[in-house]
Amino acid sequence: MELTTFWFILIAVLWVGYFVLEGFDFGVGMLMVLLAKDEKERRVLLNTIGPVWDGNEVWLIVAAGATFAAFPEWYATLFSGFYVPLLLILLALVVRVIGIEFRGKRPEQAWRRRCDAAILVGSVVPAALWGVAFANIVRGVPIDADLEYVGTLVDLLGPYALLGGAVTLSVFLVHGAFFVALKTTGDIRERANAMALRAGGVAGAALVAFVVWTGLAQQQSLVWLLAGVSVGLFVASLGLAMRRREGWAFTGTAVTIVLFVVMLFVALFPDVMPSSLDPAWSLTTANAASTPYTLRIMSWVAVAFTPLVLLYQGWSYWVFRRRIGVQHIPA
């Protein structure tokens, strides 16, 4: 396997990990306002992700760093052309951190409501804009012969891109609701399961529309296969939730997200950023890559340290695996 292909696959794996893990973080952040009825329930929801949310964000940092090192042309064109949406994502993530970290610093309800609003905004904005960004990358954007983005912000807001944002926003909400149902006890568990089923219909419809549109545009058998399996698993997860199998339902949405992201990267390869002006001007794994020496050194580092990171993060999830409820929250 060529090193450029290896790093394309590794970057795809990093984005898969980020969307699966941060996806339920975003979902829980949205549910802070939509699901919790009182202060104790909001604290329960926050505590479900409290030990892991900051570790989940590391996947984004590593994915961006790997893209910069392995495919600098891709990184430069992406971050210049998508400057406004990526800046909004960054600001929203900062706002969410402030809401999470400072929520318990003062006892006033007004202060905590403002922090809850910050967590909501910091969850909704990235959840939607990541879908918009990746839909644009797969569809293709205006890139000229100098491999530079020459479009405007309006070019990034087409129907396909907005549908991609609706998919990630709604699927992450369902994913987060299943996570809450898996991690909590009592009435909040029941309401989380019901919320997932209510939102699941909207998410499923958006997912079907998006994957069919993608399949028709790409005309690749593997894309169609991944699209069909991802939709089937999502529907199966809703059925499992009806039977109160929260663990399997959460696994179903997690695998749905995995297959959805893999579908996008399969549709993209061997391009990393297609040009909608001329296919010859597209960024590919060949013309956007670093030197072979750089990729070789990076590969050894990745092989050495990636298993350690996975083991540590898996251990942290195991330690904090138990369910919690309002009875565990002190006055």
Tens digits of residue pLDDT in 28-50: 999 988 888 888 888 889 889 98
Residue type at 39 in one-letter notation: E
Which token pair is 184?
């909590």
Confidence (pLDDT) at 252: 94
Confidence (pLDDT) at 328: 67
Q: Does residue 222 have a pLDDT over 80?
A: yes
Confidence (pLDDT) at 273: 92
CATH 1.20.1630.10 fits 14-296, yes or no: yes
Before 270, cis peptide (omega within 30)? yes
pLDDT in tens, 123-180: 999 999 999 999 999 999 999 888 888 888 888 999 999 999 999 999 999 999 999 9
Domain ranges in the chain? 14-296
Confidence (pLDDT) at 152: 85
Confidence (pLDDT) at 1: 67
Residue 272 CB partners (closer than 8 Å, separation 6+): 8, 71, 74, 283, 284, 285, 288
Residue 173 CB partners (closer than 8 Å, separation 6+): 26, 27, 30, 31, 127, 199, 203
| Selection from 268, 267, 272 nearest residue 290 by Cα | 272
Q: Does residue 327 have a pLDDT over 90?
A: no
Confidence (pLDDT) at 238: 93
Please provide the average confidence, as pLDDT, over all residues in the chain: 90
- Lowest average pLDDT, out of 202-211, 243-252, 318-327, goes to 318-327
pLDDT in tens, 251-288: 999 999 999 999 999 999 999 999 988 888 999 998 88
Q: In Å, how far from its chain's centre is CA 103?
A: 24
Q: Does residue 315 have a pLDDT over 80?
A: yes
Q: Does residue 88 have a pLDDT over 70?
A: yes
